[in-house]
Amino acid sequence: MDEPLNLVLFSGTDDKLQAAAVLTAGAAALGRPVHLFLQYWALDAFRADRIGRDHGLAPEAGPAGRKAVEVLAAAGQAPWAETLRQAKELGGVDVEACSLSMDLLRLEQTDLDPLVDGVEGVTAFYLSAGDGQIVFI
Amino acid sequence: MDEPLNLVLFSGTDDKLQAAAVLTAGAAALGRPVHLFLQYWALDAFRADRIGRDHGLAPEAGPAGRKAVEVLAAAGQAPWAETLRQAKELGGVDVEACSLSMDLLRLEQTDLDPLVDGVEGVTAFYLSAGDGQIVFI
Amino acid sequence: MDEPLNLVLFSGTDDKLQAAAVLTAGAAALGRPVHLFLQYWALDAFRADRIGRDHGLAPEAGPAGRKAVEVLAAAGQAPWAETLRQAKELGGVDVEACSLSMDLLRLEQTDLDPLVDGVEGVTAFYLSAGDGQIVFI
């Protein structure tokens, strides 16, 4: 498990981002390098002015799912951005924005939360992924 | 292909669960160990009192997709839970509920269908996944 | 990175198909074989009479996301089918339809765009995937 775990984040709803943050934190806690590649609506959720907002849930969550998420948040569950921040403090977590999605959303790196370390294209993504696993979320 | 195939099931719609069940059954038929990790809305679909219900389809299915799924079901296609049950009979299929999602949905293992073998945290998930592939569905 | 990259395409919205096409093109440009396995709504999007149509976006895109995608298309961004076509010209890209999804949608191979090379079952998918990574999109 020395190869990095490469998570391509596409979805920008809070439930999928929370799932991604937990997978990141768990891998980081085991000393495994994690490389996040932010695309589309996931990238949009990392905008500095929006990262703390409600980004909705997958449509299938329904009212009962929404309620469950709210109850857990009220009980003090860390939001996904906070879970990621803690994972980064453990070290070995690199967060990169996809350059094509930056163009799509007309963003500059200064528009993004400091959790994001840089911007890279898909070729750079593959080169740093090496033989490590790729997971699309 | 001796390493387990590790499927993280997040989505709880019947089309994605059917896709996951077919990938599981295919791998099991080839003698490859499969490890399912149930999160969020996928876990919700494994509740003993709901597993046989209609869990909807991805929004993009639309009315034509819904019709196609219903026609196939009427023609005798096994529901995903039945496909998984058959895959488990082949051996090598382990189904674990994510402990964080159990908390979110306020579930005990007795609330779940017997297809679920146990409950584990993300660290245990990674340790049993080893160098095997991780697929997020 | 000699093993093929195996992308299981399930979703049929234009944003996810574009993400898949970019991942395919990037891998092909690096000389890595790519194997696409088309299921459900992704397969539906490859119908010869529909591949050029608007297939919608993930629900979370919202009006702002829709607008961003339209602006980029108007500026000349290649649609995903064109990106895939270019990736296939680089060589090493094999596109297969899932036989179960062909049954679901009542399709024959002649109904599909020529981008699709053939039809295969899940066992054939695993055998050609070998030890290569599997990514579900």
Report the pLDDT value the prediction gives residue B3, as an integer from 0 to 100.
87
Nearest CA in chain C to B22: C122
Chain B residues whose CB is inside 8 A of the A32 CB are 126
- Residue A73 CB contacts under 8 Å (≥ 6 apart), including other chains: A79
Name every residue in B having a CB less than 8 A away from some CB of C. Answer: 1, 5, 15-16, 19, 22-23, 25-27, 29-30, 32, 58-61, 65, 68-69, 72, 133, 135-137
- Note the pLDDT tens digit of each residue in B43-102: 999 999 999 999 999 999 999 999 999 999 999 999 999 999 999 999 999 999 999 999
Encoded amino acid at B130, one letter = G
- Note the pLDDT tens digit of each residue in B102-111: 999 999 999 9
Encoded amino acid at C42, one letter = A
Say whether C68 and A8 touch across the interface (CB within 8 A). Answer: no
Smallest CA-to-CA distance from A137 within A46, A30, A37, A70 is with A37
Q: What is the mean pLDDT of chain B?
A: 96
Smallest CA-to-CA distance from B14 within B48, B39, B47, B51 is with B51
Taking the CA of residue B117 and the nearest CA in chain A, the distance in Å comes to: 21
Query: Rounded to whole angstroms, how far apart are CA atoms A83 and A24?
Result: 9
Taking the CA of residue A74 and the nearest CA in chain B, the distance in Å comes to: 12
What is the block-wise mean pLDDT of chain C (137 residues), using blocks of 10 residues? 90 98 97 98 98 96 95 94 97 97 97 98 96 96
In chain A, the percentage of residues whose pLDDT exceeds 90 is: 97
B vs C: CB pairs below 8 A: 59
Taking the CA of residue B107 and the nearest CA in chain C, the distance in Å comes to: 28
Say whether C26 and A56 touch across the interface (CB within 8 A). Answer: no
Candidates B105, B121, B127; nearest CB to A68: B105
Residue ranges in chain A whose pLDDT is less than 70: 1
Taking the CA of residue C24 and the nearest CA in chain A, the distance in Å comes to: 10
Report in angstroms the alpha-carbon separations of C98 from B83, C8, C39, C119.
17, 9, 6, 6
Nearest CA in chain B to A24: B122
Report the pLDDT value the prediction gives residue C2, as an integer from 0 to 100.
75
Report the pLDDT value the prediction gives residue A2, as an integer from 0 to 100.
75
Band of the pLDDT at B1, cuts 50, 70, 90? low
Taking the CA of residue A29 and the nearest CA in chain B, the distance in Å comes to: 8
A vs B: CB pairs below 8 A: 59
Report the pLDDT value the prediction gives residue C3, as an integer from 0 to 100.
87
**Number of domains chain C is built from:** 1
Residue B2 has pLDDT above 80, yes or no: no
- Note the pLDDT tens digit of each residue in A16-44: 999 999 999 999 999 999 999 999 999 99
Report the pLDDT value the prediction gives residue B6, as an integer from 0 to 100.
98
Burial status of residue A106 (CB atoms within 10 A of its CB: 0-12, 13-18, 19 or more): exposed
- Mutate which of C3, C16, C60 to disrupt the A interface (most A C-beta within 10 Å)? C60
CA angle, B14 then C12 then C2, to 5°: 100
Say whether A30 and B130 touch across the interface (CB within 8 A). Answer: no
Chain C residues whose CB is inside 8 A of the A49 CB are none
**B neighbours by CB contacts (3+ pairs under 8 Å):** A, C
Report ipTM for this prediction. 0.95
Say whether A13 and C135 touch across the interface (CB within 8 A). Answer: no
Chain A residues whose CB is inside 8 A of the B131 CB are 1
Nearest CA in chain B to C7: B135
Report in angstroms the alpha-carbon separations of C108 from A78, B60, B61, C105.
49, 22, 20, 9
Nearest CA in chain A to C5: A134
Nearest CA in chain C to A122: C26
CATH of the domain at A85: 3.40.1260.10
**What is the extent of the structural domain holding C116?**
5-136
Chain B residues whose CB is inside 8 A of the A73 CB are none
For every residue of B14-25, DSSP letters joined together read HHHHHHHHHHHH
Say whether A130 and C1 touch across the interface (CB within 8 A). Answer: yes
Report the pLDDT value the prediction gives residue A1, as an integer from 0 to 100.
57
